[in-house]
Amino acid sequence: MTVDTESPVRPASTLTEDEPLGATRSERLSALAQQHGALVTLVIAVLAAWLSFDTFMTADNMQNMAVSSAFLAVVALGMTFVIITGGIDLSVGSLFALGGVLAAWGSQYGTAVALLLPLAVCGLIGLVNGLLIARSRLAPFIVTLAALLGARGILLAVTDEGSKTYLVDKDSFFATLGQGKLLGVGAPVWITVGLFVAGAVVLRRSRFGQYVYAVGGNEDAAALMGAPVARTKTAVYTLSGLCAGLAGALNAAWLASGVTILGSGMELEAISAVVIGGTLLSGGFGFLSGSLVGVLLLKVIQNVINQIGSLDSAYQQVVSGGFLAVVVVAQTWLGRRRRVL
């Protein structure tokens, strides 16, 4: 690792750039808003909810929100990787439901089967998605849309056309993964936190993580620089499938049953959370902590809407759709201004 700083010839003039050439103050502000806007909004939303509703800042409510956020967060974890590569995975909602059903069915054979079966099946579907996208170069949205349908079909096939609900034995260790508590905090929350820490380390500190950013940032350049583009893409869709399957399994453990009707629309929630959290939908930029904040923000809004009582939970979709639109417009504007420079 020698760096020849004593090079015989050294340029007399230097190119020093203390100030970013193009970045104006407003542009920096907007970049800042993109990175931390979700967090600020979350803090404001929590404060407002706290002041407005006595029932908001209670231990029970917090616990509920945390656990219900956990499952979406795990799905959003995988989705973050996919979106950073510039792709999209619409199949996660179906995989989430399928994972739950498989886990509940498998739990009769022990915890290992209950966890490994959904991971294997959902991971495999994710792998197929990845191969079709990376090797056959099909459009991600259409491949994963087909997977959404296919996974739903498999789910119906294993549940007797949706009429059968497998139950999880409440005393099993598997059920503890969903319902247990440690230091007063639900097991799924701990698992989610652990996964996010691990995910963040992989994304920020591993070579694979660098490839994920490079593929999303400029695929041709990444290939020229020797990044294994196809393998990276395949890996992120597999990871997304695994995350969705695991989230479904944990959810089944929590509910103690494999509910077949879950997960529809979850892909949209996960994408919204990731994008609200500051990850660029065009790829190349994003961070996991943002996705976590995005999930929490969506769940707080949902909780507030439920607290109001008279409002239907559908408002949440309107709000998150609106959020998504605003964030995407802001991102596009930012991106365009930078391209001009």
Map the footprint of other proteins across residues 265-294, applying CB under 8 A.
Answer: 265, 268, 271-272, 280-282, 284-285
Interface segment toward other proteins; rule CB under 8 A; list 63-71, 110-118, 178-186, 325-333: 325-333
Question: Residue 160 Cβ, how far from other proteins at the closest point, in Å?
Answer: 8
Is 310 a binding residue for other proteins by CB under 8 A? The answer is: no
Give Cα separations from 236 to 123, 133, 152 (angstroms). Answer: 10, 11, 21
Is 25 a binding residue for other proteins by CB under 8 A? The answer is: no
Is 164 a binding residue for other proteins by CB under 8 A? The answer is: no
73 vs 133, which CB is nearer to other proteins? 133
91 vs 251, which CB is nearer to other proteins? 91
Backbone φ, ψ for residue 319 (5° rounding): -65, -45
Is 161 a binding residue for other proteins by CB under 8 A? The answer is: yes
Q: Are residues 298 and 320 in contact, defined by beta-carbon separation less than 8 angstroms?
A: yes
Question: Residue 329 Cβ, how far from other proteins at the closest point, in Å?
Answer: 5
User: 50: Cβ–Cβ under 8 A, 6 or more apart, which residues?
Assistant: 56, 57
Give Cα separations from 306 to 55, 64, 210, 300, 314 (angstroms). Answer: 11, 13, 41, 10, 10
Residue with tokens 């949902």: 302
Compose the 212-251 pattern: x for residues touching other proteins by CB under 8 A, - for all others: -xx-xxx-xxxxxxxx------------------------
Run of H or E residues at 333: helix 314-340
**Among 149, 197, 198, 308, interactor with other proteins by CB under 8 A:** 149
40 vs 149, which CB is nearer to other proteins? 149
Interface segment toward other proteins; rule CB under 8 A; list 49-57, 187-195, 288-296, 319-327: 319-327
Question: Residue 330 Cβ, how far from other proteins at the closest point, in Å?
Answer: 10
Question: Residue 149 Cβ, how far from other proteins at the closest point, in Å?
Answer: 4
Q: Are residues 246 and 118 in contact, defined by beta-carbon separation less than 8 angstroms?
A: yes
**Total residues at the site for other proteins (CB under 8 A)?**
89
Q: Are residues 304 and 53 in contact, defined by beta-carbon separation less than 8 angstroms?
A: yes
**Among 131, 154, 189, 193, interactor with other proteins by CB under 8 A:** 154
- Which burial class, exposed, middle or buried, applies to 226 when counting CB atoms under 10 A from its CB (0-12, 13-18, 19+)? exposed
Q: Are residues 93 and 267 in contact, defined by beta-carbon separation less than 8 angstroms?
A: yes
Question: Residue 99 Cβ, how far from other proteins at the closest point, in Å?
Answer: 17
183 vs 340, which CB is nearer to other proteins? 340
69 vs 279, which CB is nearer to other proteins? 279
Is 152 a binding residue for other proteins by CB under 8 A? The answer is: yes
DSSP 158-225: HTTTTT---B--TTSHHHHHHH-EETTEEHHHHHHHHHHHHHHHHHHHSHHHHHHHHHHH-HHHHHHT
User: 215: Cβ–Cβ under 8 A, 6 or more apart, which residues?
Assistant: 85, 86, 222, 227, 229, 232, 233, 283
36 vs 205, which CB is nearer to other proteins? 205
Question: Residue 218 Cβ, how far from other proteins at the closest point, in Å?
Answer: 5
Is 26 a binding residue for other proteins by CB under 8 A? The answer is: no
Q: Which two tokens stand for residue 12?
A: 């007399």
Residue 56: count other Cβ atoms within 10 Å of its Cβ: 18
123 vs 216, which CB is nearer to other proteins? 216
Is 145 a binding residue for other proteins by CB under 8 A? The answer is: yes
Residues in region 53-92 near other proteins by CB under 8 A: 88
